[in-house]
């Protein structure tokens, strides 16, 4: 299973509009606190999301109903307004950046925290109406924001992005973005634009960033990536020619690797180059190709 996928909660989305049901669950449910978008985790070799009994002092804090875990209702709660949140929640865990903690987190909890982080982040960035500029208020247990003056409703956004492994014969293309470490190579990626399919986005991005013309594009798997709100759509793109012309804006180097070389890169055995981390879909995309598992998977 890909990291960030496989959320085990029952989102019970049919109950979100039932304000009385949500309020009652909120009072006696469990909260997952976030402080300045950092998540509360506990544990050592394997981290877990800290689940804390709802507290009166945070009853009015911004919150989102995440779903049911058995009988327990879980809520993400933004405790950023609490100046001593770290001390207040110290008995339950420590606040960590989700991206940094991802590699150590239990996979189910990583998916839950991904949902929590993406939702709290969305609320934090969408306090005003995009249509008229007035302040908005949350509704449906955190799954929309309402603008009373103009009547607009705003919903949590997910931004689709393609991430693709270009294949030419028996080699795959990895590149280095100038924003990354000097030895870090990964698959190419970019956002899907309005009016575009993900296959079209793959071809456009490959040509735009690397001057590579892709033919057949096949879907592999997708991964929620809450930094802040992407859905990474992993694809393979077949290319007839391997000439590369880097755009120079984002990509500053590229390399075509054989399956054996790509395996070494993933396993940290290639001198002078590092590959994508196991938490990221790019790692799994390359691994699947290395192992001949290019067919589509439901994570």
Please state the closest distance from residue 135 (CB atom) to Zn ion, in A: 9
Nearer to Zn ion, 54 or 146 (CB): 146
How far is Cα 171 from Cα 292, in angstroms, rounded to an integer?
A: 12
Shortest distance in whole angstroms from residue 139 CB to Zn ion: 14
CB of 187 to Zn ion, least distance (A): 39
Number of H helices, E strands in the chain: 7, 16
- DSSP letter assigned to residue 291: T
Say whether residue 132 binds Zn ion (CB under 5 A): yes
Ranges within 148-167 binding Zn ion (CB under 5 A): 150, 152
Asked whether the beta carbons of 95 and 89 are under 8 A apart, the reply is yes
- Residue from 131, 157, 269, 293 touching Zn ion (CB under 5 A): that is 131
Crossing angle for the helix pair 281-290 and 259-266, to the nearest 10 degrees:
140
Rounded Cα gap, residues 6 and 28, in angstroms: 26
Q: Which lies closer to Zn ion via its Cβ, residue 137 or residue 296?
A: 137
Taking residue 82's Cβ as centre, other Cβ atoms within 10 Å add up to 16
Binding to Zn ion (CB under 5 A): which residues in 211-230? none
Q: Which residues have a Cβ under 8 Å from the Cβ of 45 and sit 6 or more positions away?
A: 104
Phi, psi for residue 232 in degrees, rounded to 5: -85, 120
Between residues 63 and 136, which has the closer beta carbon with respect to Zn ion?
A: 136
Size of the site for Zn ion (CB under 5 A): 7
Rounded to a whole number of angstroms, the minimum distance from the CB of residue 47 to Zn ion is 40
Please say which residue, 148 or 258, places its beta carbon nearer to Zn ion: 148
Q: Is 147 in the site for Zn ion (CB under 5 A)?
A: yes
Binding footprint of Zn ion on the chain (CB under 5 A) = 129, 131-132, 134, 147, 150, 152
């Amino acid at each position: 299973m890909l990291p960030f996928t496989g959320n085990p909660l029952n989102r019970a989305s049919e109950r979100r509009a039932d304000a009385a049901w949500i309020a009652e669950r909120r009072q006696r449910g469990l909260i997952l606190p976030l402080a300045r978008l950092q998540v509360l985790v506990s544990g050592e070799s394997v981290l877990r999301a800290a689940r804390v009994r709802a507290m009166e002092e945070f009853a009015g804090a911004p919150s989102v109903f995440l779903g049911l875990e058995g009988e327990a209702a879980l809520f993400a709660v933004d405790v950023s307004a609490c100046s001593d949140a770290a001390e207040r929640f110290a008995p339950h865990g420590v606040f960590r950046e989700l991206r940094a903690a991802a590699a150590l987190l239990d996979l189910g909890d990583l998916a839950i925290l991904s949902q929590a982080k993406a939702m709290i982040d969305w609320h934090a960035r969408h306090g005003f109406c995009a249509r008229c500029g007035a302040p908005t208020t949350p509704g449906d247990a955190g799954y929309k924001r309402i603008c009373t003056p103009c009547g607009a409703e705003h919903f949590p956004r997910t931004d689709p992005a393609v991430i693709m492994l270009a294949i030419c014969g028996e080699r795959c293309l990895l590149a280095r973005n100038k924003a990354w470490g000097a030895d870090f190579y990964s698959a190419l990626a970019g956002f899907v634009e309005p009016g575009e399919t993900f296959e079209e986005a793959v071809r456009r991005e490959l040509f735009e960033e690397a001057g590579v013309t892709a033919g057949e594009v096949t879907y592999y798997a997708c991964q929620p990536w809450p930094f802040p709100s992407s859905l990474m759509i992993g694809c393979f793109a077949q290319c007839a020619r391997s000439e590369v012309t880097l755009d120079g804006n984002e990509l500053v180097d590229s390399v075509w690797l054989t399956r054996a070389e790509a395996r070494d890169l993933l396993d940290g055995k290639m001198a002078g180059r590092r590959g994508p981390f196991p938490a990221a879909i790019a790692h799994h995309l390359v691994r699947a190709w290395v192992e001949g598992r290019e067919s589509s998977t439901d994570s």
